[in-house]
Chain A
Amino acid sequence: MINVFKSFTQIRLEDHKSQAAEADVLAIDENKITSIFIPVVSPNGAGIDFFVKEGDQVSVGTLIGRRKDFYVPIYSSVSGIVKGRVSRYNPLVGRTTEHIEIANDFKKTRAKLLKTISFDSDAKEIIAAIKEAGIVGLGGAGFPAYFKYENSSNIDTVIINGVECEPYLSTDYKLLQYHALDVIKGGELLRLAAQADQAIIVLKKNKTALVEVLKKHLEDFPHMVIRLVQDIYPMGWERALVKRILNRTYNDFPKEAHVIVNNVATAMATAQALLDGEPLTHRTITISGNAITQAVNIRAPIGTPISQIVEEVGGYTTDEVIAFTGGPMTSRPVSDDSYVLQASMNGYTAVKPVSYHSVPCLRCGACNAACPAGIQPIEIKLALDSNNTDRLMKLNVNRCVECGICSYVCPSFIEVADAVIRAKIRVRLQNAKSEIAKKGAVK
């Protein structure tokens, strides 16, 4: 039904994908990588227990550590010798952190493969195997994949998200092109893990070529279907997908609507780990943007410095760039490219600097009307600017998914999205404060 209280126009972004999407996927020359670096903190700030010490010999696939908060094993992506700790920039936590350095010995020796399972295994075994393979959400979130399956019940649908609605990124597209069968097998495994009735692969309408590729393999998998969605932003967002595909809504997590959403890259990694025994050691990343000489998808070991990958594909075209991990709508810019490739990074985009000259807000309400989460970005910004925390608490700030649409549509070029993100921090702080105050009162 049409809602007159929301914008009728849907946001269609210029996708800038064609160059990288049409080129073949490259593989980085691993003989040029002298060392890889594994950060000692995970993206959410939790620590990692390391099982190796300086001087240890490791191979590709050797278990080197495990996250402290979730059961996520970390495997070495090269063979070589553990060198010790060095400090490097880590944009996922926003500061410099220590990294374990592993010097490459270029021998590519492989550790013992993981225990493989088959489609006959029961849900528990599959979840355990996903857990053991260290699979995290490869669409950008980096959230442990097993967690959704272990903590949900009554799931009837698994959505395999191949929408990739951010401009510039094309890793999912290339994966589907090259590894369609793996994605389907992975989707089937995820469906079995969730004990769901169906798995739905979701693609954008304009990816008709992929549909042909996928359909060839789908005959053997009767529980799997393909659904197409419009080329609008943010169609790849979980909530938007569940609403569009199944017409269901939920409050906090998709499991409330009996759905689990996973990325196609996650599905592929699941298939490769569970059926072929290969742990998550490599990933494909889109190197793109108008400040990059050659936009391309490239497969590299996790832990490779980004600067090295960029050099491999030809470097930058300008001296000044705005660079970010992921797409241009949601990603925070990085302060340099010395950081290393991590499992959740699906793109590195460098664009020529553009500055937006902002003028006062004209209260047109475009951000309110366009916000896919249904909150009021400009009201949040006004409340934040006037330090009105009480009002901020009433504005549902935490529903913001940081999609960036509010800043995108703003005719005054106001950094609305940035203000909402800052407001989220303010609200979190306020909640923590009132929590402490409550505890104090009890004592």
Chain B
Amino acid sequence: MKFIVQPPPFTRRQRSTTGIMYELSALLGLLWIAAIVYNFTIAPSYGLKAILMVVVAVVTTLICDVLVGAISYRDKEKPFGRYLFTRIKENYSLVTALIFALSLPIGTPYYVIIIGSLFATLIVKYAFGGFGANIFNPAVFGRIFVTFAFGSQLRAFIGTVPGNIASLTDVGATVTTSFSSLGVKWISDSLAGLNVTMGQLWLGNYSGAIGETFTGLILLLGLYMIVRRICNWRPIVAYLLTVTLTALVVALIAGLNPGTYILLHLAMGGLMYGAVFMITDPVTSPTSMFGKILIGVIAGFMTVLIRIQGGYPEGVTFAIAIANLVSPLIDRFATGMTNNNNLKKWSVILSVLLLSLALNGGLAYYNTQVQNPEPEESQLVLEVTNDLLAEELKTDYVVEVIK
């Protein structure tokens, strides 16, 4: 008779981290399939590229896993193969690779994907101690890294622009970039000049980052993840709610159609992708439920702020990076009991939300009313010396010819 001694409890919920992570990978796989199918409808080379982009990212992270595993192999008792297998299995690099690759546009060169994956895995993840110890989301920071380092290479087409791509106004630009460069930055409720409809923005059948465009599908996957408890609902809901409320205020101040404007904010720039797959990453979130709500609000605030005032059109990755940054601080702040001080917690959340509404609303007012007032009836004044030319120029627009 042998009595084994181990700490209680002796019954556990059958929900494992490994299960959660591989279910998440399967959901990202669905998104990948959607991307492949859509890209094959453009051209076979596009479809193939969509497949290979993800494969390249996954293989690169796997090589990183093997490399780091080989370096950190100490316990000679355990066979190396077995050690490596557990290491790869429990570092969930697959998820990082998928999230990173699916956030890149179709025209991204393979070397950029490789460098981005190397950065995400080796620097952002393993340099901090691997899964569970990284303070920044590897996929988000990989994406930010390639945005900075290879910004001009992240194109929404391969080679020359094919005729059947729906949405290019500007060669090399994604829909979001084009949208934000029209008129006053991100203060517009019109898709005119973009060649995409609202329906396309939500369905995803337009050219952009291969996985990010399928807003509707991502929303469904997010709902599934919440129901299956793969991710916490708090950051998603807080993030989307903050963006919605802030966009509503901005729309009202700038005199735009609130409904359209909110839908544009939610559908563009990979916001839904960030909300479902990036901000929910538990490793880089606070452990308290209060903190999980707060980072959602902070990220929503920052997203709209960067969009209407910052230098980058999407804003989502940067906003999430900022949320990652403040997470340890929030954990400090939330030390103590989780079931009291609710008033204090709510007031912190609401103040950040109000700050978002006030600052973004104020900026919208400043950008539209003060800096770029509504252009009055346009008047073209030309100074010409030649009478004949002056006669010729007398069109509807030229009111008066000054000699």
Q: Do A and B bind each other?
A: yes
Which residues of B are found within 8 Å of A55, using beta-carbon distances?
Answer: none
Contacts of A371 in B (CB 8 A): 338
Q: Judge if A332 is at the interface, Cβ distance under 8 Å.
A: yes
| A window 234-254: CB within 8 A of B | none
Q: Which of A137-145, A190-198, A264-272, A355-363 participates in binding chain B?
A: A355-363
Interface presence of B389 (CB below 8 A): no
A-B contact count (CB 8 A): 168
Whether B133 and A360, one on each chain, are in contact in the complex, defined by CB atoms closer than 8 angstroms, is yes
User: Is B1 a contact of A316 with CB atoms below 8 Å?
Assistant: yes
A331 at the interface (CB under 8 A from B): yes
Question: Quick check: A369 and B132 within 8 Å, CB to CB?
Answer: no
CB distance from B302 to the nearest CB of A (A): 21
Digitize B123-142: 1 where CB-to-A-CB distance is under 8 Å, 0 elsewhere.
00000001111000000000
Q: Which chain B residues lie closer than 8 Å to A411 at the CB level? A: 13, 15-17, 19-20
- Name the contact of A324 in the complex, choosing from B10, B18, B286, B292 (C-beta under 8 A): B10
B3 close to chain A: CB less than 8 A:
yes
- The answer to the question of A305 belonging to the interface, with a C-beta cut-off of 8 Å to chain B, is no
B271: Cβ under 8 A from any A Cβ: no
Shortest beta-carbon distance from A413 to chain B in Å: 6
B339 at the interface (CB under 8 A from A): yes
Question: What separation, in Å, do the CA atoms of A361 and B20 have in the docked complex?
Answer: 13
Which residue of B8, B16, B283 is within 8 Å of A329 (Cβ)? B8
Partner of B289 from the list A316, A321, A330, A368 (CB cut-off 8 Å) is: A368
Inter-chain contact B9/A363, CB cutoff 8 Å: no
Please give the distance in Å from B283's CB to the nearest CB on chain A.
5
Q: Is the CB of B289 within 8 A of A362?
A: no
Interface of A is mostly: loop
CB atoms of B1 and A362 under 8 A apart: no
Chain B residues near A417: list those with CB within 8 A: 7-9
One of B8, B290, B291, B331 near A404 (C-beta < 8 A):
B8
B234 contact set on A, CB distance < 8 A: 4
CB contacts under 8 Å to A, within B328-363, are 331, 334-340, 342, 345
Q: Interface with B: A37-45, A60-68, A389-397, which one?
A: A389-397
Q: A376: which of B3, B132, B283, B287 is its contact (CB, 8 Å)? A: B287
A377-394 interface with B by 8 A CB criterion = 378-379, 391, 394
- Choose one: A6, A336, A395, A407; the contact of B12 (CB below 8 Å): A407
Contacts of B338 in A (CB 8 A): 5-6, 368-369, 371, 374-376
Cβ distance B210 to chain A, nearest Cβ, rounded Å = 27
| Complex contact B8–A333 (CB within 8 A) | yes
Residues of A near B342 (CB, < 8 A) are 3, 5
Bound-complex Cα distance A412 to B7 (A): 15
| B3:A335 contact, CB within 8 angstroms | yes
Q: State the CA gap A333–B4 with chains docked (Å).
A: 8
- Whether A13 touches B11, Cβ cut-off 8 Å, given contacts A5-B338, A368-B288, is yes
Cβ–Cβ contact B287 & A359, under 8 A = no
A239 smallest CB distance to B (angstroms) = 11
Q: Bound state CA distance, A137 and B335, in angstroms? A: 35
Tell whether, in the assembled complex, residue A360 and residue B6 are in contact, meaning their CB atoms are under 8 Å apart: no
What A residues does B133 contact at CB under 8 A? 360
- How far, in whole Å, are A167 and B10 apart by their CA atoms in the complex? 10
Distance in Å: Cβ of B289 to nearest Cβ of chain A = 5
Q: Which residues of B contact A359 (CB under 8 A)?
A: 16-18, 90, 131-132
Q: Does A415 contact B (CB under 8 A)?
A: yes
Does A50 reach chain B (CB closer than 8 Å)? no
Residues of A contacting B3 with CB < 8 Å? Answer: 321-323, 333-337
- Which residues from chain B contact A27 at a C-beta distance below 8 Å? none
Q: Bound state CA distance, A354 and B7, in angstroms?
A: 12
The closest CB in chain B to the CB of A365 belongs to B287
Are A329 and B9 neighbours in the complex by a CB distance under 8 Å?
A: yes
> Whole-angstrom distance between the alpha carbons of A361 and B284 in the complex?
11
Cβ B287 vs Cβ A378 within 8 A: yes
Q: Does B320 have its Cβ within 8 Å of any Cβ on chain A?
A: no
What is the bound-complex CA distance between A322 and B1, given in angstroms? 11
**Interface presence of B282 (CB below 8 A):** yes
Q: Which of A337, A362, A374 contacts B340 (CB 8 A)?
A: A374
Q: Is A226 an interface residue when CB atoms closer than 8 A count as contact?
A: no
Contact A365 B292 (CB under 8 A): yes
CA distance A365 to B286 in the complex (A): 8
Pairwise interchain contact A365-B288, C-beta atoms closer than 8 A: yes
Interface assignment of A14: CB less than 8 Å from any CB of chain B: yes
B121 at the binding interface (Cβ < 8 Å)? no
Cα-based distance from A363 to B2 in the complex (angstroms): 35
The interface residues of chain B lying within 8 Å CB-to-CB of A425 are none
Residues of B within 8 A of A369 (CB): 289, 338
Indicate if A353 sits at the interface (CB-CB under 8 A): yes
A73: interface (CB < 8 Å): no
- The reply to whether A360 and B132 form a contact with Cβ atoms under 8 Å apart is yes
What 0/1 readout, one digit per residue, does chain B (225-258) give for beta carbons within 8 Å of chain A?
A: 0000000101000000000000000000000000
B5 within 8 A of A: yes
Contact A365 B289 (CB under 8 A): yes
Q: Which residues of A contact B209 (CB under 8 A)?
A: none
B304 CB–A CB distance under 8 Å:
no
Q: Does B268 contact A (CB under 8 A)?
A: no
B293 located at the interface, meaning its Cβ lies under 8 Å from any Cβ of chain A in the complex: yes
Does B103 sit at the interface, judged by CB under 8 A?
A: no
The docked-state distance in angstroms from the alpha carbon of A391 to that of B232 is 26
The answer on a CB contact under 8 Å between A368 and B287 is yes
Nearest-Cβ distance from residue B344 to partner chain A, whole angstroms: 11
Whether A186 sits at the interface, judged by CB under 8 Å, is: no
Which residues of chain A from 147 to 161 have a CB within 8 Å of any chain B CB?
none
Closest Cβ neighbor of A377 among chain B residues: B287
Tell me if A5 and B289 are in contact (CB < 8 A): yes
Task: Given the known inter-chain contacts A328-B11, A360-B130, A369-B289, please indicate yes or no for A413 contacting B339, CB distance below 8 A.
Answer: no
Collect the chain B residues with CB atoms within 8 Å of residue A210's CB: none
Contact pattern, A 284-325, Cβ under 8 Å of B = 1, otherwise 0:
000000000000000000000000000000001001111110
A417 to B11, CA, bound (A): 13
Q: CA A324 – CA B7 in complex, angstroms?
A: 11
- A276 at the A/B interface (Cβ < 8 Å)? no
The CA-CA distance from A394 to B80 in the complex, in Å, is 43
Please measure, in the bound complex, the distance between the C-alpha atom of A133 and the C-alpha atom of B388, giving whole angstroms. Answer: 124
Is the C-beta of A46 less than 8 angstroms from some C-beta in chain B? no
Q: Given A333-B3, A360-B133, A363-B285, A6 and B339 touching (CB < 8 A)?
A: yes
CB contact between A394 and one of B4, B290, B292, B335 (< 8 Å): that residue = B335
B287 pairs with A360, CB closer than 8 A: no
A14: chain B residues at CB < 8 Å are 11
Contact A362 B10, CB 8 Å, known A5-B290, A396-B337: no
Q: How far is the CA of A395 from the CA of B287 in the complex (A)?
A: 14
Known: A4-B293, A363-B283. A356 touches B12 (CB 8 A): yes
Q: Annotate A82-123 by CB proximity to B: 1 below 8 A, 0 otherwise.
A: 000000000000000000000000000000000000000000
- 10 A–B contacts from the bound complex (CB under 8 Å): A329-B11, A349-B10, A353-B4, A362-B17, A362-B20, A365-B287, A368-B287, A379-B335, A394-B335, A394-B336
New A-B pairs, 8, CB < 8 Å, besides A3-B342, A351-B10, A396-B337: A359-B17, A362-B283, A365-B287, A379-B335, A394-B335, A408-B9, A408-B13, A418-B7
- Please list the residues of chain B having a beta carbon within 8 angstroms of any beta carbon in chain A: 1-13, 15-20, 90, 130-133, 232, 234, 282-293, 331, 334-340, 342, 345
Top 4 closest A-B pairs, CB basis? A360-B132, A374-B339, A418-B7, A404-B9
